[in-house]
């Protein structure tokens, strides 16, 4: 699903009927990004004929992608009718499996979650399979007339071309065919991807405006572990077997506060993931920490100025910055986006990350923008939904 960039859209406007679908995709994306917008404005900005825009808008309205929202301000003649994405109608079911929780979310074209079911993720694959089928089935049944598609985000390796889950290391599950079960049982198309890739796609389409305008960026997701999604030229870089982006296991220093999920104490994840941050806090208190403290509480304490919590986040930002610095040297991205709950403490970690990111042999070059995610606390939920929406926006009319 390659993203078309509006800044370059003019040169991409198709002149032949055979590639009218590309024009349709461009019009839809103008409405998505610039709404409310009138037909005349779309025509002016794209240099498409006004009649072509009107015909495409009619099609998109009939297909339920966009709607009219009344009249805008007149620039002389009749007041133009404004268009926007049609929201409030379910189009996507996101299935987000994380080590702790699994969320089945029903969302509209704007990425708004209309309804959701959340349950603790179990290590029992049979139970998980059943729960997911039941909940997806319930949404599909309630919205039988909707044009639903399913996106599945998993903390492991997925093959999006074949639609299979190859391996989820946290639970040791391999070759899980939940995608084809959903397709067979409910007749809904399914897209599956690794959680970090799914979040990177969501950042690309629905994230901070600086990221949406970017063609090359790296997304770092700080959660139970650390995941990275790499967007090159508007597409996820998956590598052979879909196994790229495992930078959570890059060597960033010894003697981490917790073992990595792979068992080593040298990995980035062992130094800068949520579990590393919580363990670092416990050792700052000489092990006297409340055993029930979690990352949410720790961030809250830090934001209220509790010294140990503040110092813990800054020390963790240091390690986050080391990893980011390495990624910048390797990829030379336009931007780096950081997602996860740690972003809530952005003011406390920003400077440390920035200093480390700027400290490399690239010191002659400008440091890429380092941006906190705009996707909120549960980026992977939006990631699962985003897999479907990105498909719809990238393939409208095909």
Residue ranges in contact with Zn ion by CB under 5 A: 249, 260, 262, 264, 267
Angle at 117 between CA 112 and CA 119, to 5 degrees: 135
Q: ω before 36 within 30° of 0 (cis)? A: yes
Between 24 and 275, whose beta carbon lies closer to Zn ion?
Answer: 275
Angle at 210 between CA 209 and CA 212, to 5 degrees: 60
CB of 30 to Zn ion, least distance (A): 43
Backbone angles phi, psi at 223, to 5 degrees: -145, -145
359 vs 318, 320, 328, 329, 398, CA distance in Å?
12, 13, 10, 10, 46
CB of 336 to Zn ion, least distance (A): 21
CB of 273 to Zn ion, least distance (A): 10
Neighbouring-strand partners of residue 94: 105, 151
CB of 272 to Zn ion, least distance (A): 12
Between 262 and 284, whose beta carbon lies closer to Zn ion?
Answer: 262
Kind of pairing between the strands at 101-107 and 235-236: unpaired
Between 39 and 280, whose beta carbon lies closer to Zn ion?
Answer: 280
Q: For the sheet containing 235-236, what is the strand order? A: 235-236, 226-232, 217-222, 335-339, 369-372
**CA 359 – CA 142 distance, rounded (Å):** 54
CB of 253 to Zn ion, least distance (A): 13
- Residue written as tokens 């959903």? 182
Between 160 and 257, whose beta carbon lies closer to Zn ion?
Answer: 257
**CA 33 – CA 86 distance, rounded (Å):** 13
Radius of gyration of the chain (CA): 22
CB of 201 to Zn ion, least distance (A): 24
Between 264 and 350, whose beta carbon lies closer to Zn ion?
Answer: 264
Between 243 and 262, whose beta carbon lies closer to Zn ion?
Answer: 262
Tokens of 176: 């899980």
CB of 132 to Zn ion, least distance (A): 28
CB of 265 to Zn ion, least distance (A): 9
Could you tell me where the DSSP H helices lie in the chain?
9-12, 20-34, 39-46, 50-62, 125-142, 178-186, 195-206, 209-212, 268-272, 274-284, 295-303, 307-331, 346-358, 379-395
CB of 246 to Zn ion, least distance (A): 8
Between 52 and 273, whose beta carbon lies closer to Zn ion?
Answer: 273
Between 64 and 172, whose beta carbon lies closer to Zn ion?
Answer: 172
Between 143 and 264, whose beta carbon lies closer to Zn ion?
Answer: 264
DSSP 36: S
């Amino acid at each position: 699903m390659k993203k078309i960039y509006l800044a370059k859209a003019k040169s991409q406007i198709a002149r032949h009927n055979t590639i009218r679908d590309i024009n349709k995709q461009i019009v839809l994306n103008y409405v998505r990004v610039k709404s409310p917008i009138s037909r005349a404005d779309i025509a002016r900005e794209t240099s498409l004929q006004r009649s072509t825009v009107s015909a495409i808008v009619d099609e998109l309205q009939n297909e339920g992608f966009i709607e009219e929202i009344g009249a805008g301000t007149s620039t002389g003649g009749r007041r133009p009718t404004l268009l926007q994405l049609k929201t409030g109608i379910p189009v996507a079911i996101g299935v987000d499996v994380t080590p702790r929780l699994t969320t089945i979310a029903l969302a509209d074209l704007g990425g708004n979650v209309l309804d959701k079911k959340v349950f603790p993720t179990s290590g029992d694959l049979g139970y998980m399979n059943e729960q997911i089928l039941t909940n997806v089935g319930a949404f599909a049944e309630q919205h039988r007339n909707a044009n639903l598609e399913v996106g599945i985000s998993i903390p492991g390796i997925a093959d999006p071309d074949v639609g299979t889950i190859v391996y989820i290391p946290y639970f040791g599950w391999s070759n899980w065919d939940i995608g084809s079960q959903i397709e067979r049982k409910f007749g809904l198309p399914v897209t599956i991807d690794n959680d970090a890739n799914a979040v990177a796609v969501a950042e690309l389409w629905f994230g901070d405006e600086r990221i949406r305008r970017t063609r090359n960026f790296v997304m770092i997701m700080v959660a139970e572990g650390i995941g990275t999604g790499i967007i090159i030229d508007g597409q996820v870089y998956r590598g052979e077997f879909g196994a790229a982006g495992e930078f959570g296991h890059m060597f960033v220093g010894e003697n981490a506060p917790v073992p990595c999920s792979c068992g080593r104490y040298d990995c980035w994840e062992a130094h800068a993931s949520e579990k590393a941050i919580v363990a670092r806090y416990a050792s700052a208190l000489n092990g006297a920490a409340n055993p029930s403290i979690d990352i949410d509480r720790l961030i809250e304490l830090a934001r209220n100025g509790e010294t140990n919590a503040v110092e813990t986040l800054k020390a963790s930002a240091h390690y986050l910055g080391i990893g980011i610095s390495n990624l910048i040297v390797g990829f030379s991205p336009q931007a780096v986006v950081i997602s996860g709950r740690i972003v809530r403490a952005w003011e406390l970690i920003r400077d440390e990350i920035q200093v480390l990111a700027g400290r490399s042999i690239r010191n002659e070059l400008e440091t890429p923008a380092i941006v906190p995610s705009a996707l909120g606390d549960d980026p992977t939920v939006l990631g699962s939904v985003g897999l479907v929406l990105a498909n719809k926006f990238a393939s409208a009319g095909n």
